[in-house]
Amino acid sequence: MTDNKNQQTLMRVQVNAQYIKDLSFEIPNAPAIYTEEINAPDVSVHVDLVANPLYQNIYEVVLHLKINAKIKDFTAFIVELSYAGVFGTNVNNEHLRPLLLIECPHLLFPFARNIIANVTYDSGFSPVILQPIDFNSLYYSHAQKTETSAII
């Protein structure tokens, strides 16, 4: 039987900081795009993750989101957000990559989603509310594609 106190010690993660590392918002066809009938733009989302060691047991995890929105054949807007967190952990190496590339982005995502919704709304468009991202599936699909990775 596993002692809950010992199990919590093994799987501990601490959020030390979180911040916008980079934010870019473009409306390449302004002001003409605002004359178009804006129903629901066609939105595509690209997700990327990077984890970098900072100190012993301290890591920076960066969630990169790129959102392209099109109305008809025109680009309505492009949002690029790199939202980062500094995490401390004492997990063993076997669990480190899944923790950094599944659990940490899961903690960062709601804040990044809020930033994107606010930026798109403040620009005169309907807010883009990103749907939840299954970081678990992303991690394991990436692991199947390649045995080695540039991430940590």
The answer to whether 124 and 34 have CB atoms below 8 angstroms apart is yes
pLDDT greater than 60 at residue 75: yes
12: left (phi over 0), alpha (psi -120 to 50) or beta: beta
Q: Which of 118, 87, 94 is nearest to 18 (CA)?
A: 87
Q: How far apart are CA 131 and CA 110, in angstroms?
A: 10
123 or 41, which is more confident: 123
- The tens digit of pLDDT for each residue in 131-141 reads 999 999 999 88
**What is each CA distance from 96 to 41, 57, 136, in whole angstroms?**
38, 10, 14
pLDDT for res 115? 98
pLDDT band at 92 (very low <50, low <70, confident <90, very high): confident
pTM across the whole model:
0.84
pLDDT greater than 60 at residue 15: yes
Which domains, ranges and CATH numbers included, belong to the chain?
12-145 (3.10.420.10)
